[in-house]
Structures are given as C-alpha cells and as structure tokens.
Amino acid sequence: MAFDIDMIKKVYTSMAERVDAARKIVGKPLTLSEKILYSHLWDGTPNKAFTRGKDYVDFAPDRVACQDATAQMALLQFMQAGKPKVAVPTTVHCDHLIQAKSGAEVDLKHANNTSSEVFNFLESVSNKYGIGFWKPGAGIIHQVVLENYAFPGGMMIGTDSHTVNAGGLGMVAIGVGGADAVDVMAGMPWELKFPKLIGVRLTGKLSGWTAPKDVILKVAEILTVKGGTGAIVEYFGPGALSMSCTGKGTICNMGAEIGATTSTFGYDDSMERYLRATDRADVADEANKIKSYLTADAEVYDNPEQYFDQVIDINLSELGPLLNGPFTPDLSTTVGKEMTNKAKDNDWPMQVEWGLIGSCTNSSYEDLSRASSIAQQALDKGLKTKAEFGINPGSEQVRYTAERDGILQVFEKLDAKIFTNACGPCIGQWARYSDPKNAPKNSIVHSFNRNFAKRADGNPNTHAFVASPEITAAIAIAGRLDFNPMTDTLINENGEEVMLDEPTGWELPPKGFDVKENGYLEPVEDGSGVEVKVAEDSERLELLTPFTPIGDTIKGAKLLIKAYGKCTTDHISMAGPWLRYRGHLDNISNNTLIGAVNAFNKQTNFVKNQFTGDYGGVPDTQREYKKNGVWTVVVGDHNYGEGSSREHAAMQPRHLGVAAVIVKSFARIHETNLKKQGMLGLTFANEADYDLIQEDDTFNFLDLNEFAPDKSLHMEVVHSDGSKDIIELNHTYNKAQIEWYKEGSALNLIKKQNA
Ligand code: F3S
C-alpha cells in the first residue's frame, strides 16, 4: 500500500475520458484544478457541472497521509469504523513528536524513549490496517510525500494543513481533519464544497536573492490570511515553468497560510526531472502519455480572467526578497530599507538571535544547497555568524544526500545545530528556554510557514519572521533584521568590509539522491493477527467513547468565552508541550482555548464562571458547567480556527460540553471539523451581533428542531439584567451534515451504516 504505480495508471486511464466529459458538460475549456476535481468524482464520469463555492461534491481521493500528532486521533477513530483494512493507500509519518534540543542523534533517541508508547501504537495500528509507516527520523510528512507518493493529476487528503505541499508535483492535495481521513480510509466518499478558483500568472524569472518563497510571501501579502478561503490557487505562466518542483512545493505549501483549499501547478519539465530523480521514472513516463490532461486547456492560460474567479499577476523579475511577520504570515516587508524603517517604527528587536532553516516548506536539497552557498561564503570571507543556526532536513534522503555532498558540514563549521529530520521548532518542539513565558523580547528568522505568537519556542515575546532559506542564512550571519545582502557590507575577523554574493545551488543533487535507511516499514499483507495495545492507565492514549447527540433542544446554555481577535487552532488547542496528549482526548482537553483572548478582560485563559462569579481557566470553568449538565457556547471573531487541520480543536470543546461555536466567519477545515464532531458551527447573520454578546449571557436556541439546509437558525440571548435579543445565525450544513449532528458525529453515522 505504499507507492502504487498500478493505482496511478488507473487514475490516468480514466482521466482522459472523465476530463473530456467534464469539458462538454461545463461547456468551456477547463483549468487544471477542474480537471483533477472532475476526474476524481465519487460517482465516476461527470454528468453535472458544479457551481463553484456552492455545491457540495463527493470525491474519491487516491491517497491519505497522516502525521503522528493527528494520526493518533484519526486512527483511534478509524479503529471504531469496523473495517479490516484501509480502502486507499495510506501512510503515517512520525515527525511532530521529536523535540529539537541538542542535535539529531541525541534528540531522536530522546523522542524514541519519551514517545515510544505513541510510536508503537501508530506502528501497530498501521501494520494491522495496511498502512505504510514512516518511523521517527524518516522525515517531515510533506517532504516524504513529495519524494515518494505525490503524482501529477492525483488527489490526496492528509491530516495536516500543509498537505497542500504536494501541489508542487501537480496534485490537488488537501488538508483535512482526522474524521475526513477516516471517511476515505473506510472507503466512503469524501465531501468538499466545489472550490472557487484563483489564478496566479507568473511572468518573468526569479534571479539573484529572490526565491520561490518570496512568491508565496507576496501572494500572502496580496490575499491576506483569509483571501484564499474556499478556493484553489492555480499557478501558471512562464515564471511557473522556470521554477523547480520543490520550489513549487514551497509555494503550494504556504497556500495554507492564505486559507486556500489547496494550490497547484500544471505538469512540466521540472516535475518530470523531480520524478526521475526520486526514482519514479515510471510515473514520469505515464504522465508524459497524458500530458495535456495534466495542465489547463491552452485557452485558459491565454485568457485567465474568463476562467478563474480572480486573477493575480506577479512579475518574478520585479520581485525582491521579503520578510513576513512578526506574528502573522501575511505582514510582508521588503528586505532592506523598508524593514529598517518598519522595525524601528514598531519597535521590533533589530538583533536576530536565531536563523532556522527547515520545516516542510523549505527543507529540500535545493533549499539546503542554496542556503549553504551563503554559509560557505561566511567561512570563505572570514565572517562569524552573529545568530545561531538550526537546520532541520526534510527527509532522511535529503539529509543523507546533503551530508554526502558536504552541504551539512558547511553549516556545522558555522556551529549550526543539525536537528532531526522532523518538524522541530516549526511546531513548538524546540527546547529553547526553560521558562518560555518569561523569556525576553527577541527576533528570529526562519524559513517555515507559520509565525503565530509562541509557535516556535513558546515565548510570546519572540518576533518570528518568515523568509527564504537563503535570506534566513544571510540574516543569521549578519545578526540583524535590517540587513540587506544586496547592498550592505559586513565586517570580517580581519576588520575588512565584505559582501555576500548571490546564492547558488542545485535544483537536484548532481550525483543523484541516495539514502541507506529511509525509515519506512511496509505493513504485513494480513494484519488480522496484529494486536493493538492501549494501556488503561496511559496518559497519552485513550480509546474513544462515541459522542452522544446534542439534540434539538439547547436551552439555558452559558457563554464559555467570547474570543477576541485572532483565534487560530493554536489558540484553541495549543501545540508545543501539549503534543504529547494528542492521543488522549480527556487529557489534551485541559488546554482547550487557553490561548484565546477573552474579549471582556483581554486576558488569556481567564473567564467568568457564571455560577460562582469567579474567574478561572477555560478548561476548568467548562468542566464545572459540564458537571452541572449545562451546555455552553463559544463566540469568536473572523476566520475562527485558521491554521492547522487538527480536529482536537473541535473534539476537545465537544468532549467538554460546548454545544455551539458562533463566529463572524470560520476557516474551512475547522468548520468541517466542528460539523464532523456533531457540534453546531454557526455564523452571525449580522456580524455586529458579536457586540451584543455579554459576559453573563444565557442562550436559548429557538428553532433547532427545524435545522435544515439553507435555513438560518435563531437564538435568544438573555442578558443578566433580564433584557433579551434574538439573533439570526447562518450555517452551511447540508442534509448529510445535519445527519452527523443528529447522530452525534460523522463517525457515529459511519458505524451505524457499517453495522
Ligand atoms: Fe511540520 Fe511545521 Fe510542516 S509542523 S508538517 S514542518 S508546518
């Protein structure tokens, strides 16, 4: 069930027929995104044109990928579905649970000791149900998927929001919650609202210090963190053809930061080169046979305005290197003068303390080779790095090859720490401080994708800026945020002024990739005899108990928290030290919403208990309500639940007794996750009603017994002075999703159907 050329041949065989049928039905030339979507319909050959942004459609993805932190809950749910084996090729990747501290060897040993219970659980469940298993240290899920499983024209889902990375190899790859993955693993259709389409036309050519990362940093500036919501971003034009496959992966990867459903590129020579270099000449040969189906029809890219809902133009020749941040990935600043001014105006610490290169976004061989060309210059020109360096190679194959070619040694000569081939600091698995809460204000630069407060090191005062690997290297060497490698000089050990030359590197290793032990375990053919053990007293794993339906009468519900401003999945279910409880619903629920800011006092994890009038932590207060059999409501602002695909952000409130989350707008994955867990995810019909909600409010749902598609709901808000408001609430539940609510969860429904 690992790499499956027969499955790919099957997809390609039906693709031509399905795309031709879709073109007739839609009545116009097709974008690449539409070709992939229409060729993956659950019902086979298309017989209906779908309305973008409106119609819910059942799809049949080709693959599933899960990372260790989300796989625990996904597999715990799959175990309940009553299936002997997964229905489509699926892999599990152990990459999130490895802390970066001393360096790869020591850190990996430590992770294998401290998380052996979880790794063993994932390995045995994978073995039992026919899932390919990538051991800790094998690499970061999306780099491993790109190297081994992604293929042009394919469709996959993954339990990680950066699954979208595989768009770099021409896939439609989408991040989902574990419950969605369970649907596909159980052989059921997977539902998605047919996305809108944004076209990004790339003209010109990248040169000098500018990298693919700058393209997506620019797109993030243009579209902001929610501009891609509900849309697939399709890149095209001469600029797209001039970029490497892994560079395209970087751009697609950070599509998650603009809220896009996914991003993709048409099949081209760079993808063919990458497929051949990663030992998949057979896939390249098959793709070449149907090349015209693996990119948009010619008319589409000639007149994109006619075929996309929105078109953005970027001239790569005019693009300069960018630094995005701090605290949000869409705050874009040009390297050099603009950063100098902005940093001074905003009091961002000018001194940079760390430069981190890695994460699923930028950890390819090309990324490491280009960054090392800068590091090599520091050695050659007698420069000492002012900031510390940390490197996370994307996979064991990248690491082994980079070591063989002397790339890692260049960083080591600059005293860089080479961390495990894993997420590390990108997911807060970074032992930077013993007491992060009281750590000082500082700046770091990294080549990752996310830079929310506390994300990397738990320190709310760390200002994290996102940049390309080569700019990260240059700024780490200079140790200053305002350094412009194109114009500024540095003073070397001899007191001489020197400049850094433009980065150079290799798209692919000149001597080819190599690896000794890639860390992959193939599951046994018949897993029926494999035993999966979960200790009853385990603090990290807990078998699931099905949720009971909330029902159609919610009266007397209390406000748990009215969240103010940004409330990402990190705020709802923090990562970092809490990752260890991802397989234990009750224990991880103790972090529920502790990062959300209470709108009434602007503090985190400090909400009013309406029974006692006392203030306390969100989880404790919620447990009190639950003990008293009282439902609660969470209220939020715009783009609530942006960020990761972790369904814990929905399961935890559900487990603790929150009945409804009512916000101005949702991030797509989180909204679906709430629905899947049988909760109410609703939006204010009138956004200003957010302001009506008071700290002591009680809520009565008035017409939940009439819950139906395209019909708003109404809620009575009773204020502490006895006055009342009735507010209208919108929702996007279709008929099937209302069934999930009625059954208590989507999984309850699957079980019922399989019984
Ligand atoms: Fe891992 Fe960070 Fe990517 S957590 S999967 S490296 S976004």
Looking at residue 3, its pLDDT comes to 63
Cα 495 to ligand 1 centroid, rounded to whole Å = 40
Nearest 5 degrees, angle CA 531-CA 648-CA 395? 70
d(CA 252, CA 266): 12
Residue ranges of the chain with per-residue pLDDT less than 70? 1-3
Host domain of residue 659: 557-754
> Is any ligand 1 atom within 6 A of the Cβ of residue 162?
yes
Annotated catalytic residue 450: yes
329 shares its domain with 245: no
Tell me how many domains the chain contains.
Answer: 3
Annotated catalytic residue 644: yes
735 Cβ contact partners less than 8 Å away, ≥ 6 residues apart: 709
Cα 93 to ligand 1 centroid, rounded to whole Å = 12
Of the candidates 455, 460, 423, 467, the one whose C-alpha atom is nearest the C-alpha of residue 643 is: 455
Atom 5 of ligand 1: nearest residue by CA position:
360
> Is any ligand 1 atom within 6 A of the Cβ of residue 270?
no
- Report the DSSP pairing between strands 56-59 and 190-193: antiparallel
Cα 446 to ligand 1 centroid, rounded to whole Å = 13
Residue at 527 is within a domain: no
Cα 491 to ligand 1 centroid, rounded to whole Å = 35
Looking at residue 755, its pLDDT comes to 75
Which of 70, 144, 162 most suits a substitution to test ligand 1, by most atoms within 8 Å of the C-beta? 162
Atom of ligand 1 nearest to the CA of 141: 5
> Is any ligand 1 atom within 6 A of the Cβ of residue 256?
no
Atom 3 of ligand 1: nearest residue by CA position:
360
CATH number, position 682: 3.20.19.10
Write down which residue in 272, 291, 317 finishes a domain. Answer: 317
Looking at residue 81, its pLDDT comes to 85
397 shares its domain with 357: yes
Of the candidates 534, 531, 606, 516, the one whose C-alpha atom is nearest the C-alpha of residue 563 is: 606
The one catalytic residue in 33, 40, 62, 95 is 95
231 shares its domain with 284: yes
309 shares its domain with 352: no
Name the pTM for this structure: 0.89
393 shares its domain with 467: yes
Q: What are the pLDDT digits (tens) for 664-681?
A: 999 988 999 999 999 999
d(CA 445, CA 358): 11
664 shares its domain with 727: yes
> Is any ligand 1 atom within 6 A of the Cβ of residue 427?
yes
Annotated catalytic residue 96: yes
244 shares its domain with 382: no
276 shares its domain with 360: no
Cα 324 to ligand 1 centroid, rounded to whole Å = 17
The one catalytic residue in 142, 646, 670, 731 is 646
Residue at 506 is within a domain: no
Element (H, E) at 389: strand 388-391
Residue at 399 is within a domain: yes
Which of 98, 163, 427 most suits a substitution to test ligand 1, by most atoms within 8 Å of the C-beta? 427
Looking at residue 4, its pLDDT comes to 81
- Report the DSSP pairing between strands 388-391 and 417-418: parallel
CATH number, position 106: 3.30.499.10
- Contact (CB, 8 A) for 265 and 252: yes
> Is any ligand 1 atom within 6 A of the Cβ of residue 360?
yes
Residue 734: CA count within 13 A, CB half-sphere: 10
Annotated catalytic residue 95: yes
Cα 392 to ligand 1 centroid, rounded to whole Å = 11
Atom 4 of ligand 1: nearest residue by CA position:
427
DSSP letters, 413-468, are HTT-EE--SS-GGGGT-B---SSGGGPPPEEEEESSS---TTTTTS-TTEEEEE--
Residue at 538 is within a domain: no
Q: What are the pLDDT digits (tens) for 330-348?
A: 999 999 999 999 999 999 9
Residue at 581 is within a domain: yes
The one catalytic residue in 370, 450, 455, 584 is 450
DSSP letters, 150-196, are --TT-EEEESSGGGGGGGGGT-EEEE--HHHHHHHHTT--EEEEPPE
Atom 1 of ligand 1: nearest residue by CA position:
423
DSSP bridge pairs for 185 = none
Looking at residue 576, its pLDDT comes to 78
Write down which residue in 317, 344, 378 finishes a domain. Answer: 317
Residue at 278 is within a domain: yes
289 shares its domain with 340: no
Average pLDDT taken over every residue of the chain = 96
> Is any ligand 1 atom within 6 A of the Cβ of residue 140?
yes
Write down which residue in 258, 282, 317 finishes a domain. Answer: 317
100 shares its domain with 215: yes
Atom of ligand 1 nearest to the CA of 160: 5
165 shares its domain with 121: yes
10 shares its domain with 43: yes
> How many Cβ atoms sit within 10 Å of the Cβ of residue 228?
26
- Contact (CB, 8 A) for 368 and 402: yes
Residue at 242 is within a domain: yes
The one catalytic residue in 18, 93, 96, 580 is 96
Of the candidates 88, 36, 38, the one whose C-alpha atom is nearest the C-alpha of residue 64 is: 88
Residue at 69 is within a domain: yes
The one catalytic residue in 160, 180, 183, 367 is 160
Task: Provide the token pair at 324.
Answer: 């995005």
